[in-house]
């Protein structure tokens, strides 16, 4: 045991000494130690340590002819570039990038030379959930500090460029007591923006200016708009039928902003897909899609012509191409409720609602009746991020422990933090994926 402890201590001392040497020159454009890169000699990749980790793991790469000019060296974990802290020619000190993939090929590029390491780096995603504000069992909206803030049922969320989080809160009566609340984590405050929306308010949407929010009323042609430019003073508006267009709306559940054409899109429960000019409120019906279900909308970040529709009561997700008018099944099985991970067309959901896309194009969604947050990667793989399928409860922590009670809403901040409207727990939960 003493020998093992001695070996461990020596290993820790060695790694610590290497990090001390490598970091001693941070801030210099060129290291003060080691030989410069020689284009007449090969760049050699030998080993690295550690061989696994998560975001911002410190990794030492061993080899030769890396050079000492940081401006000429690039290190990749799969296709994602890592930050290089320093080099001593035969060693590179790098920081792992965010979510490069589960199994990573490490490569070093120096000048026109490129080399890869034989062994793979195993990337671990660290996921935890905590409570931002609210608590189970509360029945009224209370504002103030985040510790004081309470909600009855929380439904859908949005966030602006200043990290103001917007919360739809449903009262005890379906058409009574519905409020729209803004809170800011950094400022540790919450405030009521609309004390009585007049009807349930559904999935809000930010205009592409990042400072104006559009809030659809559940029934009819009405909606609210609020902007930081007029101190968040709410304005009640209605759709105006475009010339030659007839609008028939029973219920609408979401707005989605299209960056391709600048229109705001919504779908009625009767299947009518509409687009609205945000400036004039002129609205026209552009298609007839699946009827008989609530739906929640989000445009793709990588292809702004693709609109995603979560058909809650049909337990599936479709896409609609606004250019070709194609309406295709994307994930899940229509009219089949369940919780199955895997290929998107083999997966099952149970009342999916609000969706979001992160900067990598991964979709996250609130799978309400499964009490989970699910994700769909850009290559079409579905997995459960956090929560226990079919098990409701209220527990913060890691994926093995965390529990939700009918999450409705999800939104994401600029730094990648995901906020969740945990409806029946009356809480806003904060999901850190890393």
Q: What sign does the CA torsion over 328, 333, 336, 341 have?
A: negative
Q: What is the pLDDT of residue 311?
A: 98
Q: What is the pLDDT of residue 58?
A: 94
Q: What is the pLDDT of residue 2?
A: 38
Which segments of the chain have a pLDDT < 50?
A: 1-32
Note the pLDDT tens digit of each residue in 397-430: 988 899 999 999 999 998 889 999 999 999 999 9
pTM value > 0.85: no
Q: Enumerate residues 6+ apart whose C-beta is below 8 A from 114.
A: 43, 107, 108
């Amino acid at each position: 045991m003493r020998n093992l402890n001695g070996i461990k201590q020596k290993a820790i001392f060695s790694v610590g000494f290497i990090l001390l040497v490598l970091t001693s020159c941070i801030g210099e454009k060129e290291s003060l130690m080691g030989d410069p890169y020689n284009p007449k000699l090969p760049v050699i990749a030998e080993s690295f340590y550690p061989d696994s980790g998560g975001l911002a793991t410190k990794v030492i790469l061993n080899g030769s002819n890396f050079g000492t000019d940081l401006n000429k060296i690039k290190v990749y974990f799969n296709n994602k570039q890592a930050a290089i802290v320093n080099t001593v020619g035969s060693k590179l000190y790098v920081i792992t990038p965010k979510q490069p993939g589960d199994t990573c090929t490490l490569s070093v590029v120096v000048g026109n030379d490129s080399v890869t390491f034989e062994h793979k780096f195993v990337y671990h995603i660290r996921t935890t959930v905590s409570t931002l504000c609210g608590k189970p069992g509360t029945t009224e909206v209370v504002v103030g500090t985040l510790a004081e803030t309470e909600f009855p049922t929380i439904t859908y969320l949005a966030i602006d460029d200043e990290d103001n989080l917007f919360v739809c809160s449903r009262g005890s009566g379906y058409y009574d007591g519905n409020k729209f609340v803004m809170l800011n984590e950094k400022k540790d405050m919450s405030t009521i923006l609309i004390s009585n929306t007049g009807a349930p308010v559904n999935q809000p949407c930010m205009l592409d200016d990042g400072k104006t929010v559009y809030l659809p009323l559940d029934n009819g042609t009405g909606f609210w708009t609020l902007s930081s430019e007029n101190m968040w003073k709410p304005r009640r508006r209605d759709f105006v039928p475009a010339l030659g267009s007839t609008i028939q709306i029973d219920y609408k559940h979401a707005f989605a902003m299209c960056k391709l054409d600048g229109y705001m899109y919504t779908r009625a429960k009767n299947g009518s897909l509409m687009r609205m000019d945000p400036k004039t409120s002129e609205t026209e019906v552009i298609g007839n899609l699946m009827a008989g279900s609530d739906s929640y909308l989000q445009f793709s970040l990588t292809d702004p012509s693709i609109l995603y529709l979560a058909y809650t009561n049909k337990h599936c997700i479709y896409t609609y191409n606004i250019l070709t008018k194609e309406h295709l099944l994307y994930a899940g099985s229509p009219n089949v409720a369940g919780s199955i991970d895997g290929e998107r067309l083999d997966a099952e959901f149970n009342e999916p609602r609000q969706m979001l896309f992160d900067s990598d194009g991964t979709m996250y969604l609130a799978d309400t009746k499964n009490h989970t947050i699910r994700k769909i990667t850009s290559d079409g793989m579905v997995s459960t991020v956090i929560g226990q399928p079919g098990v409701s409860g209220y527990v913060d922590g890691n994926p093995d422990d965390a529990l939700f009670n009918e999450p409705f809403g999800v939104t994401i901040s600029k730094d990648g933090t995901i906020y969740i409207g945990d409806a029946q727990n009356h809480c806003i939960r904060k999901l850190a994926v890393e």
